[in-house]
Amino acid sequence: MRTTSDRIRHAIFFELIGLVIIVFGLSQLGFQLGHVGAVGVLFSVIATVWNFVYCKWFDAMMPRLFKTTVKTVLHRVLQSIGFEAGLLVITIPVLAWVLNVSLWQALLLDLGLVVFYLFYSYIYNWCYDWVFPVARPAK
């Protein structure tokens, strides 16, 4: 199992790398860097807290649900989908409030981020587990 400090490192790197990609990408599409950056930082804080809580919960549930702590492709897909679904529930009302748009418009805006982060979280978690592998218990 991962330590709390490892989970903190995981969450911080996840958000920093994702924020850089999103802010750069949206600024290239003509959005004002300041607005994109402000919303990005707010969402990064929300997502960092959610990432820490969700990944800690997912790792704790793996032995109970799957009888293993080794993540297969299916486990990683389920982890990514669960993370993004939970984040949508949290961020749609925030996005609607911050941008003063309807919940429907906020949902549509958020879906673009979901598509990016769905793939990004899968790739990031796979790379993170490769760079920082979980120590296997001695037999």
The per-residue pLDDT for range 96-123, each reduced to its tens digit, is 887 777 899 889 888 988 888 889 999 9
Mean per-residue pLDDT over the chain, rounded: 87
Token pair for 31 = 């959005």
> Left, alpha or beta for 72 (phi > 0: left; psi -120 to 50: alpha)?
beta
At 93 the pLDDT is 92
The rounded Cα 45 to chain-centroid distance in angstroms is 11
At 68 the pLDDT is 82
At 37 the pLDDT is 80
Residue 54 to residue 99: CA distance in whole angstroms? 26
> Residue 2's closest CA among 133, 139, 138?
133
Q: Which whole-number Å values give the CA distances from 23 to 17, 20, 33, 72, 86, in the listed order? A: 10, 5, 7, 31, 22
Residue ranges for the chain with pLDDT beneath 70: 137-139
At 138 the pLDDT is 65
At 72 the pLDDT is 87
Q: Which whole-number Å values give the CA distances from 101 to 33, 40, 43, 87, in the listed order? A: 20, 17, 16, 18
The pTM assigned to this predicted structure is: 0.63
At 39 the pLDDT is 81
